[in-house]
Chain A
Amino acid sequence: MNSYKIMNKNSFIKTILVLLGVSLSLHALAHHVLGRPSYSLGEDSNTPPSMQVETQIGDYYVTYMAFPAFPKANEPGRVNLYASRIDNGQSFTGKVTFSVMDDSWFSSKIETIGSQMSDDSVFRQGFIISEDGNYIIRAEFESGGEPYIIDFPLRIGEPLPIGPLGVSVAIIFLILISVNVIQRRRLQRMKTGRHHAETE
């Protein structure tokens, strides 16, 4: 019963799955998300969210947004979370705990940044992060005796200067140079072979 809910004993694996799903789709939304309800507005900045994710977990639809559009180190940011039941659309009104962790390979540090009660059905959590990097914001709540854990990626600061454009150009040139070198060597070998054949 309710096997789709995140249970205590296997919450880690399911969290990872949710995380993977969400990370794969930073801005990936169904193209039907058109309403701009209260949770899509940033109180601190008049910008669109840096990320907006809608996800379904257990009995809930969860909408998550991070503000401002480009979060920077040592500057205040905010995450807004809104959860409503799938069956009747009722908003979740309990308590949500937010924590942050470094999303790097060798880091397991996790820090709770606060617990929030519903404010007009929206859970608003402010944050200040001191270093640029990739982070995971975790939102936890309990409903119907089941724990819910939802992880969302968050980028602080500018991404690395060598972006996809640099990687693409590098890949293309690496391919072209490698083939060019191989072809030139082959032609050289053929030329030498022909020269030998002519002189013998």
Chain B
Amino acid sequence: MHPGLSDNWVSVVLIFMLLIIAWSLVGKPVAYRPRHISLRKLPFIGQALHTMVTRPWVLLLFRFMFVAIFLLVIISGLFGTPIAERNLATTLTWTLWWTGLIIATYFLGSAWCAVCPWDVLATWLVRLRLWRRGSNINSFNLRVPKSIRNIWLASAMFIALTWLELGFGLTVSPYATAILSLVIVILAVLSQVIYERKAFCRYFCSVGRTIGFYASLSPLALRPVDQNICADCKTLECFKGTEDIEPCPTHLVIGRSQQNTFCTSCGACTQSCPYQNVNWAIRKSGAEAIYHVRPSWDESWFILILVALTSFHGITMLPVWEAWISQWAQMIGDSGQLLWSFSSGMFISLMVPIGMFAFIIKLIQFLLSDQELEFKRLFALFGMAFLPLAFAYHLAHNLNHLVRESRGITEVFLNPLGSGTLPLSHHEVHLRHMNPLISQDILFALQAGLMMFGFWFAIRILLQRMDSLAITHSAVNTVIKSGMLVLISGVSLFNLWLLIQPMVMRM
């Protein structure tokens, strides 16, 4: 079992939270000064990066590499050993990729989407080109119907994936992991065959949407090198594409966009811009989440689902989880793999934070019944404040898995199918446990830092969103702010409590 966060660090986080709460009661949102530094302008790195983003072969090389690894994962999963910790499919997918992805998203934004093998394979198969503008002969290129031009399907996919991961035991089944990978490739192909551009990435892919939202906290994003060039541009190649280059797969005009949530970093805009004016830029961490992400009903739901399910991950890894689920199964008369008990437990975990959020909004509405505040508007507006909490806990939790469970990954790479291997012995489990990739003290410091980071950004988003409501009456402001503060603090404290608990190893 992984030991939980130490008391000293918990005290530091609690003191920090108290100070931030006190500040939030009197503080005002920080005035925004839009600023980013294009990496293109940096000496040495700038030129190299410019070559990388404007030449298709660099990205193509990365895509080949990731597709090759993906195919190896599938082969290992289908034909390799069923021992999860010895098979590349499970160790690479769940220990390295799924945990590392969240860390990478913070530092590299949505860069993963550019090399995502699901989309790359689907694009190669449907467009019949490895790069450049592909053929339309294998696609109906229909516009996505308005009814699904939202991320409800991505939310549903996210719930389904979590159910498969935790309830069905996907993380310990190489075979099921490979099957899931194949199914998602089929879904991506199907989407490209029916709809224009990259509807799967934009509307349906829960991994892409998770990355998209988390990337809004990242200090890295694709941005114009010179804003004025984009402001004067009439041809919009970044949006429409050129004869050779695909249009923006998610319908963005990158030069004028402040929100990168739906950017897949595919490189189409960097390659199609006749002025070569789009490149990676460094910006203030979290600025996009605080100032630019537009409130949206479906996106707010997605974020709350993210909050609920990341915490649920932690709950299922508590040592008492099995006893709870077993008792629950006996109460409801479930037997076998306890899928009904698990599903109902997951549903309750999902509904509790969302229900509390809805309840507080209803309460605010009730208390301020003369203000005509719409439920949907408030729901959409404040959902975003919970994103940093989900991100911080997700990362803190995943760090635990990554640093304690990724020992031995080299052996798995050398023998991806796990031929002739035996399950981990007690001794090996113990060794892994005792020799994390980084020291436990550093891990705890990082986890505590993340919890403070999440809380700090959640409060900043809250204050900014309060400001955008433009309510002049201070009592009204106080009621709304207090309600949201209670919930943000509640979620943070619950996540902190989860981190304090010892956590069961995944494999």
Which residues of A line the B interface, CB within 8 A? 3-4, 6, 14, 17-18, 20-22, 24-32, 34, 36, 40, 46, 48, 50-51, 53, 55-58, 61, 69, 86, 163-165, 168, 171-172, 175-176, 179-180, 182-184, 187
Contact = CB atoms under 8 A, between A and B. Distances in A.
B330 interface: yes
A58 B172 contact: no
Contacts of B275: none
Contact of B189 (A4, A24, A175, A182): A175
Count chain A CB atoms within 10 A of each CB in B185, B193, B336, B504 and give the residue with the most: B336
Contacts of A55: 335-337
A176 B78 contact: no
Given A31-B506, A57-B335, A183-B140, A172 B168 contact: no
Contact of B186 (A34, A172, A184): A172
Contacts of A164: 78, 178-179, 182
B322 A30 contact: yes
Nearest to A167: B182
A187 B139 CA distance: 12
A31 B322 contact: no
Given A17-B336, A163-B78, A24 B83 contact: no
Interface string B314-339: 00010001100010011001111111
Contacts of B170: 28
Contacts, number: 129
Contacts of B136: 183
Contacts of B205: none
A28 B425 contact: no
A6 B179 CA distance: 33
Contact of B82 (A18, A27, A56): A27
A24 B337 contact: yes
B176 interface: yes
Interface residues of B, number: 52
Nearest to B83: A48
Given A25-B168, A175-B190, A36 B423 contact: yes
Contacts of A175: 189-190, 193
20 contacts: A4-B333, A6-B335, A28-B169, A28-B173, A31-B169, A31-B317, A36-B426, A50-B82, A56-B336, A58-B335, A69-B81, A164-B78, A168-B182, A171-B186, A172-B125, A172-B186, A179-B140, A179-B193, A180-B137, A183-B140
B213 interface: no
Contacts of A36: 423, 425-426
Interface string B62-91: 000000000000100010011110000000
A196 B182 CA distance: 45
Contacts of B326: 56, 61, 86
Contacts of A30: 169, 322
A164 B339 CA distance: 24
A56 B329 contact: yes
Nearest to A173: B125
B264 interface: no
A176 B193 contact: yes
A164 B74 CA distance: 10
Nearest to A58: B335
Contacts of A69: 81-82
Contact of B335 (A4, A24, A179): A4
A56 B333 contact: no
Contact of A22 (B137, B179, B337): B337
A114 to B, nearest CB: 24
Contacts of A184: 137
Contacts of A168: 182-183, 185-186
Interface in B149-200: 168-173, 175-176, 178-179, 182-183, 185-186, 189-190, 193
A166 B429 CA distance: 36
Interface in B112-145: 125-126, 136-140
Given A24-B337, A27-B84, A56-B338, 14 more contacts: A14-B335, A24-B168, A25-B168, A28-B172, A31-B169, A31-B505, A32-B504, A69-B81, A164-B178, A165-B78, A168-B186, A172-B185, A180-B138, A187-B137
Contacts of A180: 137-138
Contacts of B423: 36, 40, 48
